[in-house]
Structure 1
Amino acid sequence: MRPIRVLLADDEPIIIRGLKKLIAWDSLGLNIVGEARDGKELKQLIDSSDPDLIISDISMPGFTGIDIIRDIQESGRPIKVVFISAYQEFEYARQAIQYGALDYLVKPVNTSQLEQVLSKAVATIREESEGERNKLMLNHYEQKNRSVTIEELLEQLTDGNRSRAAQFIRMAGRADTEFVTVCVAEMDEYDGQSFHWEECERKLVAFALSNIIKETVEARGKGFVFRKGERFGILLQHNAPGEPLQLMQDLHGKINAFLKLQVSVGIGRSEHDIGHIDESYATALKALTRRYFAGLNQVYVFSAESQGPGECAQECLKVLQEQLNETLKSLDTDRLPPLLQRILETVKQQAEGSRGKAVSSVYNVILQLEQEFADYGIEARIQDGSPQPLLEMLHEAPTFERLGFELEQAVNRMAELLAGKIKGRENAQLSQVKAHVEQYYADNITLESVSARVYMNPYYFSSFFKKHTGQNFKNYVTEVRMRHALRLLLESDLMVYEIADRVGYNNARHFSDMFKRKFGKLPQEYKQSYRNSWRK
């Protein structure tokens, strides 16, 4: 019996040397026929050495282990593969590789692990006779060619090339079913997931995802899986209207449980004719767009019903914008959360399921705020100092919920900046008013005349003054006048009517009444009491 021919591959020579010394290869009937330092060299050795078994690092320059095993499978060669890698953070990577490989070992590899895996490989290879291996190779070629052709036909049919329907039926057979339905599955892109994956990791995930979809669909029968860019298309032939939803929910649960991935699935409208699956595919994509508003990692069924924007949505948004402006001006932050919620509900209604419309509406809300408060020198930046344009940041929000969060962040930041600006401006205005009263208390000071000096209407000024001083404006003017009246009464020999005139009262009796109300005595009584206290 001839020895089993083995290739070793790793871009670290020390690993290959270690593997060679780790066990007695000859005693297991294994013969190392070549060593590769990268994926390209490994490919060349496969062609020239005709190996039975490959032990390879999964991540190498040139071609990855995933690229190699795919080439082996596509060529139909009965070569077994064992992967070794440092990628131990992906718990599902082991499962993904085991679809096409004998095993997956994590570095550093010890003697017992390697001997156990190699014994398994030897047993598997010995069990496959030359005749069976040749038969498997021929069958693989036939299945591969048929599978590739069917996938290509489905791609063309879903693109609208209905002339391919007859060829598809010849290749796949005519299913005795009433309906055909196209479903679309796509990984959800969000912070913390696939944005940060390396290329090798992406391939591992796509490989595992493809296999679990095919296993689930093919186990049911009358179904085909094909690729549309980053998406997976699924054609189902069925009789019961509810079958696609039941199967896709089962598939979605398996992906979540076994691969720990978040995936959204859109189920298109069922058709009676295979030639019309382009329409089912188009509606599956429409169903998939619902994830923006409904949330990620769900199964969505296409529905032709549309709520419409509502008659008042646009007008309501204008009214809510004005309320938002006034709420920010009043610095009433407790009113912001429910108001923002109403704005987002109106934006969602107005958008009619369009992500672009939703982003545009939120962007306009923020722009109008910036215009409204331009005089305050405020910009509604979502992140302080962020160089990314606002519109670009809003477009990158993966869901409507995230878009709402970005709006909330922008408004809260504006509220913080505005509070500082308004407080500073109001303190300056208040100081200006007090200085004016202190200088012109003897004149005919009115609420209207003073509010005009700080460019406020009288009603707002009255509220503004009481908010900052705790008393109404009229009482404050009286306080200032009485203070100066008391000074003149005690420090001069002016008559009461003269003091009244000097502090803004043209009626001496009214002045005396006001003085008594403030100090408890009439002016002369107060003066006499004051002098008597000093004589004692």
Structure 2
Amino acid sequence: MEPLNVLIVDDEYLIRNLLRMRIDWEKQGMRIVGEASNAQEALEWVDQQKPDIIFTDIYMPKMDGIELSRLILEKHPDIKIVVVTGHDEFEYARKSIQIGIVDFILKPIRSAELLTVTDKLKAMIGEERKREAEVWKLRADLEQNFPYLREKFLLQWLNGTLTQMELREKAVFFNMPMLIKSCDIQVAVVEIRGASQELEEPLILLRMKCSDEIESFYQGEPHVVTLTDTQNRIVIIVLNEAVDLTPDGEALIRYLTQSYPCSVSMGIGRQHGCAEEVEESYQEACRALHYQAFVGKNQVVYFEDMVNYSEQPYQSNAELLQQLQFCISTGSSARAVEVLNDIFNVSFSSVTQFRFAAMDVITECQRVVLEQQIESVQVFNKEAWVSILEVDHLPELRTRLEFYVRYVSEAVHSKNEIKEDQLISQVKAYLEDQLGDPQVGLASTAAFFFVSPGHLGRLMKKETGKTFVEYLTNLRMKKAKTLLIQTELKGYEIGERVGIRDPQYFSVLFKKSMGRSMNEYRQHKS
């Protein structure tokens, strides 16, 4: 810590000199940088130099030390003031503590008392400066992280995880008073995609540039908030009905697609009556955005255009959709079609509603395709999706959907069959390698390949026509036959080589499998 600056105020030179000479100020980490013989002189000196510590007498002409201290502390509350007083002034000096004076020392001035006071002052100032440094560091950290904290708050608000009180408190903290006022609110979600197959880093940079452009577009508009959601989409929140997202969205898409090698899709939710309903408008905008694959690139999709609100809105059947996804993911095309029929065995009141149902089915198909990494071109055929959703008659729609569901299910089934073939090949090689281990069996082999014993047993029967035990026994007997022909090993030694340690059991098993005993087989070997 830098030496602390000390000012001595006393109308008597001898007292000022005595304070100078009583202790080694430099050793105490302090330096006397000035003296004043009266209060007025002291006030001028403080305004110019602002010392850390002041030692002042009480009785001085025109203005006493108590009044001087009061005036100094009003302007500079961090300065530490010590009053120098005599015994007859003690009660008066003690009252001075009420105005913020740190301590007092009695005349005659003793070195030990002065050292005690200066040690106290040094510790006090050191602790205050340490706390002040910590506060400044916290402020700097807060300032540095403020954009991140603001973004986190906006995401919480967008996802409906804040209570009304939390929303108000944080709106005040982040200086967003428009969130507190009753206002109309509407949300748009913008998805940016590269014009070609982009690597992740260039795509991130592209999205950042587009985000900056959208922020610039709304710069100076206090009722528009922009952020990036967890899906790397740009969210525009409008808190004033005077801001019209319809022409804004079309203008932004034109500008961004002309300025950057990208495609831009925007979904717009309905207008709602207060800030607490932002989540509903956001979810509507996201749902509208899901239609981009069907309406084409560089389009604005309005949620209001998707549903006729004079009717009961379409409700997805989550349970049936989950069943559909399961059937497709297991390659059960017949069962998947049955579930598809269950989904459509409801009363639709408009073309819009059964198109919603069709989109749900296509979404589940695509979820399976992505999870199982099906690479067939047909399952990603956007023209096929559009042709399905453009159908105006429910029977034809169901026919096209059934074909699509069967196609995806069979693609999954074909891939699963390849996986099963590969598994059985690996199991066969494993059994060949572990043939001499008597502990090898269905359970241990299934555990080695992280499948259930029942599943492995069924696959072995399907692929080889034999049960697991039959296949393993046949493999051991073939190996035993080879050893019997090619070596002079004894029967029990051959049994050990093929994983059967019991000589009697091995002998019986060999005869049962080969139709003759080992001795007979060896005598008749060619």
TM-score normalised according to structure 2 size = 0.37
Higher CA-based Rg: 2
